[in-house]
Amino acid sequence: MKYPTLLRAERAHTQSRFGGAVSPRALRHAATLASLAALATGICLWSKPAAAESTLGVDLSYNDANDLSDTHGAGVDVYFGPRMNLEILVLTTEISLGFHDFGGEMDPTVYRAMAGGRIGVGAFIRPSVFAHIGVGHLRYDDPLVSDGRTGRTNVGADLGAALDFTVLPAVDLGIQLSYNVVAGNNDDPAFDWMQAGAHLVFVFGG
């Protein structure tokens, strides 16, 4: 995120985090997320013709921005797609839409739309890993622009793990933890955060 000149002067220590080119760490994270999300999407898309169920899920999460103090908040992700059960292995293709709001001095807000999937093991108790990649839009406060807010659109991705419990034949309840990022560019570094929360998944068909 590129901070205004006024804020750079007041917070020189923050400039190294938010000004200039993308850091190697952010580039490595973005490349890793892109590769894993592409792999998960490919596997799940391959399974789609044989899918016997459809899912609709909602995540509610607590968000904490990396390397930024007092920049945390809450978010929601809604996702849906086909799911195929292979004995104890469960493959799911997902389209995900999310909104995540943060506090702090710059008050960041992220909107995103992504595609990907998850691979789970088990029936009534099911651990899983998931990855998505798509488009993220970041908004944040900037006192030097006319409306007080500015932002950018770039690649968005996540990578995480979940634990689900089948509480009813068509309802799963679970918890999740994930790393999330909106990629940067030559002028603005990536904005990344951790999120943890709970989710509810409805299963149709099968």
Query: Mean pLDDT, the chain, as a whole number?
Result: 81
pLDDT class for 23, splitting at 50, 70, 90?
low
If DSSP codes are grouped into helix, strand and coil, which group holds residue 32? Answer: helix
Catalogue all structural domains in the chain, each as residue range(s) with its CATH number. 5-205 (2.40.160.20)
Q: pTM of the predicted model, to two decimals?
A: 0.76
d(CA 40, CA 45): 8
Cα torsion at 190, 23, 11, 99 (round to 10°)? 10
Residue 63 binned pLDDT confidence (cut-offs 50, 70, 90): very high
Task: Quote the tokens at residue 106.
Answer: 């710059």
Judge contact between 67 and 194, C-beta under 8 A: no
Residues of the chain with pLDDT > 90, as a percent, come to 55
Which residue would you say has higher pLDDT here, 204 or 6?
Answer: 204
